[in-house]
Amino acid sequence: MRNFLFRLIGILEVAGGFFGMVNMLRRLIPFGSTHDSIVAVIALVLYVFVLVAGVLLLEGSERGVTLSGWAQLLQLPLVATPVLSYALHCGAFVNVFATLQMAPRLELDWHFGSEGFVLAVAGPGVSRLGINLLALLSWLALRLR
């Protein structure tokens, strides 16, 4: 069971890391504004990190387990406020988040076969705070040694 979970996590990391890396390279090529380029370079570094962690995990390396744990922790928070926004997912996500407005409510959002990165100094008008449950469960599974 442990090997199956590690392989599944590794596959999602490799696929999400690869697609994220390609999208960020595509975003860097036109040489747009400096701000967009800085965000794209940060995202590129994160996606390459997740890709390498996934490859090492699929090889069965103990270093891959450690790096994949860090990769899952990077995917854990979901912060979208007017001051700062951050979210990262590689391969899949199951987000549980609270929309903070006059009547706060919990929501669930999920998607498989995707990648995404948000880093902004400004954000949406309606704030959201949450966690990626899939990243949390993956991190817990990686702790099973």
Token digits for 97? 């988040």
Residues of the chain with pLDDT under 50: none
Residue 142: predicted pLDDT? 93
- 90-118: burial string, b at 16+ Cβ within 10 Å, e else: bbbbbbebebeeeeeeeeeeeeeeebbbe
Residue 27: predicted pLDDT? 87
- 30-59: burial string, b at 16+ Cβ within 10 Å, e else: eeeeeeeeebbeebbebbebbbbbbbbbbe
Residue 145: predicted pLDDT? 64
| pLDDT tens digits, one per residue of 63-94 | 999 999 999 999 999 999 988 999 999 999 99
**pTM assigned to the model:** 0.90
Token digits for 7? 């392989």
Strands (E), the chain: 77-80, 85-100, 105-120, 127-132
